Structure 1
């Protein structure tokens, strides 16, 4: 029988962290496949649905439109230092700073590219746990805004099938720099409503 410990130890060192249960299951599946024990089970592919896209775009906006129809980057309104600088549909990253200017097409293309990365992260965090399209969309919106899907208690509760408790967790994520933000409170309420929708 194959000793898996050296493989897991090396991947831990490479990542600089441990694994959650869904990652352990996926690594086990990949190892089984590599040694010919079982076929590799594919991770289900999830895509953001129309309700999730509309919710994210509503809250992110595509603001700071200039007279020429292009868009300026702007500082985070809730942080003390302005970080992260944002442009378009809530896009952030090392390529976005004061003075960054994009066209509408650039804003839309970046959103479409980024949102699948966030959807993939939510899929990984959920592992084999089932999710309705509305639950998935709400979790992607949450993650797109917070980046916290891997560590949030609401994710753990969802994976345990404790959906009513998970739904209540959205309301805890309303702070920026330690201050409650009315906009975050309202966004979390809409995400929670979408999450609980049939």
Structure 2
């Protein structure tokens, strides 16, 4: 499966667009739509600036890694909404978080309702509950259940 425009919009709405590099809530250098990797082979650095087409390209190419991970990790048939929610989750938290999660275990065991109830538990960064993560997990859960 591939992420839908609805899934991309969800990621964009929570990551926001920042054309100048900044430190996220836990100090990770970030640019564009939550991008933390090198940009066109150049290491991300404080003060780096990109344009909107570059941010769009980074998101579009970067999300493929998370689509691939969800496609490999999920062993049951899922809906487009479930797929989109899982890609957003993995984009934000990383594939390792998804791969080791109770959310994935429950989903692969056929308990999609139980899996949906795991989203809200992933609301912390640096050990603190963040309102933005509470909202994101609820939006992902809603999309997962749609």
Q: TM-score, normalised by structure 2?
A: 0.92
User: Which one of 113, 120, 125 corresponds to residue 61 of structure 2?
Assistant: 113
Structure 2, unaligned runs of 5 or more: none
User: Which one of 125, 128, 136 corresponds to residue 176 of structure 1?
Assistant: 125
Cα distance in 1 for partners of 2:53, 2:118 equals 35
1:54 partnered with 2:20: no
Deviation at 1:97, TM superposition (A): 2.4
Deviation at 1:192, TM superposition (A): 0.3
Bigger Cα Rg = 1
Deviation at 1:124, TM superposition (A): 1.0
Aligned residue number for residue 153 of structure 1 = 102
SS in structure 2 at match of 1:53 = helix
Structure 1, unaligned runs of 5 or more: 1-45, 64-70
Q: Which has the higher contact order (CA 8 A, sep 6+)?
A: 2
Cα distance in 1 for partners of 2:109, 2:93 equals 21
Aligned length: 140
Q: TM-score, normalised by structure 1?
A: 0.68
Aligned residue number for residue 167 of structure 1 = 116
Cα distance in 2 for partners of 1:179, 1:75 equals 16
Cα distance in 1 for partners of 2:44, 2:144 equals 31
Aligned residue number for residue 73 of structure 2 = 125
